[in-house]
């Protein structure tokens, strides 16, 4: 059966960790707009420079750019059996754009993607973001405060030096939350009304969240 999943949740709610685990177990492409945009920024292209001017302020990158990236990605062959959208859509406008893209491409199904909402109290989030580090080589994500790493600067899987995202500062995090509450949160009501939404308690530990997530897959 085709598996199409959308993940919605505030910055730092753990979507990245869970979607990576799900992508490996179900062998589905993990489409993370934040990472795709950071890759574009790293190329130094005109679009990357434009995207960065929004990202460093914690604002949404213009919809034309994001829609193009998503459309091109969903047309790739590896999306034939399904996909995991992590961090897209992030606004009503993007949800409408996604409906259009999904209607246009030949998916071999009419069923709507299942949407997972990561519910977590906001007070836990800023701390998670400022303590977040990731491995630029294998993509592993760590929390240097709660995870008790042997060395807070090295990836436990491949030994690469961990990096901290430029926007994982308290100052930008506050702006990212404001963007989330104003533009992304209304999607919860939209997808609830459409019967697509499943809510997960994302304040639990990683393995429990994953067990609940896979158990909720329809």
State the residues that interact with ligand AMP by CB under 6 A.
11, 33-34, 37, 54-55, 58-61, 66, 87-88, 90, 94, 167, 176
The smaller minimum CB distance to ligand AMP, of residues 87 and 113, is found at: 87
- Least distance to ligand AMP, CB of residue 1, Å: 26
71 is catalytic: no
Bridge partners (DSSP) listed for residue 116: 7, 198
Instruction: Tell me whether residue 194 is one of the annotated catalytic residues.
Output: no
Query: Shortest gap between Cβ of 144 and ligand AMP (angstroms)?
Result: 18
Collapse the DSSP code of 29 into the 3-class scheme (helix H, G, I; strand E, B; otherwise coil) and give the result. Answer: coil
The residue among 131 and 151 lying less far from ligand AMP, judged by its C-beta, is: 131
90 catalytic per annotation = yes
User: And the tokens for 48?
Assistant: 């990357």
Catalytic entry in 3, 107, 165, 175: 165
The encoded tokens of residue 18 equal 């869970």
Number of H helices, E strands in the chain: 9, 7
Cβ distance to ligand AMP smaller for residue 167 or 213: 167
Contacts of 193 (CB under 8 A, 6+ apart): none
Which of 20, 90, 128, 133 is an active site residue? 90
Is 124 tagged catalytic?
no
| Reduced DSSP (H G I as helix, E B as strand, rest coil) percent helix, strand, coil of the chain, to 5 | 45, 15, 35
Q: Which of 20, 128, 132, 133 is catalytic?
A: 132
∠ CA 69-189-213 to the nearest 5 degrees?
70
Catalytic residues: 15, 90, 132, 165, 176
């Amino acid at each position: 059966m085709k598996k199409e999943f959308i993940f919605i949740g505030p910055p730092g709610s753990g979507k990245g960790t869970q979607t990576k685990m799900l992508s490996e177990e179900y062998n589905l492409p993990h489409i993370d707009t934040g990472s795709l945009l950071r890759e574009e920024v790293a190329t130094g292209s005109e679009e990357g420079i434009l995207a960065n001017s929004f990202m460093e302020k914690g604002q949404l990158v213009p919809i034309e750019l994001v829609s193009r990236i998503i459309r091109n990605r969903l047309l790739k062959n590896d999306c034939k059996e399904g996909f995991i959208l992590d961090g897209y859509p992030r606004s009503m406008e993007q949800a409408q754009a996604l409906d259009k893209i999904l209607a246009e491409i030949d998916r071999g199904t009419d069923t709507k993607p299942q949407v997972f909402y990561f519910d977590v109290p906001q007070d836990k989030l800023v701390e998670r973001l400022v303590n977040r580090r990731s491995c630029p080589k294998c993509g592993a994500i760590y929390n240097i405060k709660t995870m008790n790493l042997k060395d807070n600067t090295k990836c436990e899987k491949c030994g690469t030096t961990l990096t901290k995202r430029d926007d994982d500062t308290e100052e930008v995090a506050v702006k990212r939350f404001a963007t989330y509450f104003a533009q992304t949160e209304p999607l919860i009501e939209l997808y609830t009304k459409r019967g697509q939404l499943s809510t997960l308690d994302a304040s639990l530990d990683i393995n429990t969240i994953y067990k609940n997530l896979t158990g909720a897959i329809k």
